[in-house]
Amino acid sequence: MPRPTAAQFAYGSATVVVTTLALLLLFRTESGIGVAAVGTTALALGLLVAVRLPLPRHRGAEGAGQTSTARAAARTHHALEGIGDRERIPAGRSSAADEHSLRR
């Protein structure tokens, strides 16, 4: 399960506080059962608001419709395509460096 964002915490908490105050003022309840019902209702509504918030989307200049995972996979694919096409260039090592150490 993904971790909640700061916006989810903020909107959920604000919803709980505002809903609790509004329901307590609206129903003018003073009994313990009424206050518990108002608190439960406010918590449920705050949870619903926090869960229903859209997830943030990070869009860059390239591939605005793709997810970051899809963009990373595309970059990797393009990078790997060209590997087999290139000629092998010697790295400047001597032939002795390629031999096993016991053969020297």
- In tens, the pLDDT along 23-52 reads 999 999 889 999 999 999 999 999 999 988
- In tens, the pLDDT along 54-99 reads 877 766 555 455 566 777 766 666 665 656 555 555 555 555 556 6
| Residue at 59: amino acid letter | R
| Residue at 48: amino acid letter | L
Segments making up each domain of the chain, as ranges:
6-57+64-79
3-state secondary structure 9-61: HHHHHHHHHHHHHHHHHHHCCCCHHHHHHHHHHHHHHHHHHHHHCCCCCCCCC
